[in-house]
């Protein structure tokens, strides 16, 4: 079988290439370059940079497999960075990593390589599994629950799952590093990249301010102005820290009006809702086969049982068995049955 390994230059994807070669596959390493900025060795703020390309090439050479680099800066800018900016400027809090997995580095890349290079599978270093469930190939949570990345794969198109393979699903991060060290991989001790790669260590608000400039406005509580803010794009639903507002009791962001550059504050109890509206659902498994689904509205949130799903003219109305705190437009809502990913969508309101 001919496989491509998406090699980021990090330890996870390097171990994937090693395991693929040991499995007897015909392996080629593929690295996507998203940034032209050079970074310091082992810089944890930036991935898919020239330094990571060099690291991926070093590992490929060490393993004796061919390696190619695709310079996809323009594709990444158009499909991920521009999406992030547009959604943020509409007052939402987008999830660029989930979009990137669908539009660039996972689903789209798998389809691209399958068509142009006759590659049977794309292997990536995601902590997740591909399993058989109800007669379908679906994604399952990884054994290492602290590293599980299935949530970020919920927007990947159903037809692309058949082209993917995740060898790290049954391994912990510690086991992966031990394999890399034992096998002498040159990046075995390289630190993980953190946060959104194109932010380069900045907060989303700092990144957006550099792009569009300062846009100071006002906070509102109970209809009254209670202070100035730095720009609506610096804030997200549920935020408490960094507001600079003293009302004698804790207040939280509960609404953003991008058009009027207004940020609305409330008490914590007003953050809870037992419903949300999705623009659409990306179904990995047909809805009629869902039995007792749970929904997860943020990466670190605990999933809760879904009470009802209704298709409306505005999208899919999801109601929960108990209220959730800080449901945020732009974020991803992923659906699970036990540990099986059923699909996901983007929160509209």
Sequence-separated (6 or more) residues with CB below 8 Å from residue 40: 51
**C-alpha distances out from residue 272 to 237, 276, 303, Å:** 11, 11, 15
Query: For residues 95 and 329, what is the distance between their CA atoms, to the nearest angstrom?
Result: 10
Annotated catalytic residue: which of 100, 254, 266, 333?
100
Query: For residues 216 and 158, what is the distance between their CA atoms, to the nearest angstrom?
Result: 42
Query: For residues 90 and 100, what is the distance between their CA atoms, to the nearest angstrom?
Result: 19
Burial status of residue 200 (CB atoms within 10 A of its CB: 0-12, 13-18, 19 or more): middle
Measured in whole angstroms, the distance separating CA 49 from the mean position of its chain's CA atoms is 18
Annotated catalytic residue: which of 197, 254, 266, 333?
197
Burial status of residue 332 (CB atoms within 10 A of its CB: 0-12, 13-18, 19 or more): buried
100 catalytic residue (yes or no): yes
Identify which of 106, 83, 148, 89 has the alpha carbon closest to the alpha carbon of residue 303.
148
Matching residue, tokens 């392996």 = 27
Catalytic positions, please? 100, 197
């Amino acid at each position: 079988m001919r496989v491509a390994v998406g090699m980021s230059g990090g330890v996870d994807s390097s171990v994937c290439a090693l395991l693929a070669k040991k499995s007897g596959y015909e392996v080629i390493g593929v690295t996507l370059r998203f940034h032209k900025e050079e970074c310091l060795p082992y810089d944890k703020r930036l991935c898919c940079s020239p330094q990571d390309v060099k690291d991926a090439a070093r590992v490929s050479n060490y393993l004796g497999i061919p390696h190619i680099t695709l310079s996809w800066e323009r594709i990444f800018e158009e499909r991920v960075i521009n999406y992030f900016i547009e959604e943020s400027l509409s007052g939402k809090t987008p999830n660029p990593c989930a979009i990137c997995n669908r539009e660039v580095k996972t689903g789209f890349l798998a389809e691209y390589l399958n068509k142009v290079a006759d590659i049977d599978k794309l292997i990536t270093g995601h902590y997740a599994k591909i399993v058989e469930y109800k007669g379908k190939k679906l994604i399952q949570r990884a054994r290492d629950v602290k590293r599980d990345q299935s949530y970020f794969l919920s927007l990947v198109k159903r037809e692309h799952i058949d082209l993917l393979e995740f060898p790290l699903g049954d391994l912990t991060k510690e086991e992966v590093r031990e394999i890399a060290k034992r096998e002498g991989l040159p990046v075995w001790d390289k630190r993980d990249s953190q946060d959104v790669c194109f932010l380069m260590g900045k907060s989303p608000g700092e990144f957006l301010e550099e792009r569009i400039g300062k846009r100071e406005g006002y906070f509102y509580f109970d209809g009254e102005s209670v202070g100035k803010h730095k720009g609506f794009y610096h804030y997200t639903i549920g935020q408490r820290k960094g507001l600079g507002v003293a009302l004698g009791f804790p207040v939280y962001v509960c609404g953003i009006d991008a058009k009027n550059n207004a940020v609305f504050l409330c008490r914590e109890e007003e953050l809870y809702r037992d419903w949300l509206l999705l623009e659409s659902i990306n179904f990995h498994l047909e809805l009629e086969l869902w039995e007792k689904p749970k929904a997860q509205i943020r990466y670190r949130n605990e999933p809760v049982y879904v009470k009802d799903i209704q298709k409306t003219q505005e999208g899919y109305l999801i109601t929960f068995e108990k209220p959730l705190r800080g449901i945020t437009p732009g974020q991803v809502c992923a659906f699970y049955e036990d540990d099986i990913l059923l699909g996901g969508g983007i929160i509209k309101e």
